[in-house]
Amino acid sequence: MDRATGPNPTPPPHQPTYLNATGKNLHCRELGITHFIDDRADVLEPMADIVPNRYLFGPQRGRIPAGMRHAMTWREVERAMS
């Protein structure tokens, strides 16, 4: 089994894991992140002043918040970034 999908998954070293959105926001600010993909609007919304390109991934209920791009598939994300 690989590290990301085994019984006790651990992310690869280049993929940090956060317990909350605040950790993500701080990391994005520190690194100057310009693009962020998440399946939760409540995680992306606080990044509005930090990350200029926010992608809401997968099926969603309700409308897509302003300032986010919705992508149902990774191919759609790729197209939106090119």
Instruction: Kindly give the confidence (pLDDT) of every residue in the chain, 82 residues in length, as a single tens digit, with 9 standing for 90 and above.
Output: 334 445 555 555 666 666 566 778 888 898 899 999 999 999 899 999 999 999 999 999 989 999 999 999 999 999 998 8
3-class DSSP assignment, residue 43: helix
pTM: 0.73
Q: Are the C-beta atoms of residues 51 and 36 closer than 8 Å to each other?
A: yes
Can you say how many angstroms the Cα of residue 33 is from the centroid of all Cα atoms in its chain? 11
Q: Are the C-beta atoms of residues 29 and 50 closer than 8 Å to each other?
A: yes
Token pair 């990350």 in the structure block, residue: 51
3-class DSSP assignment, residue 5: coil
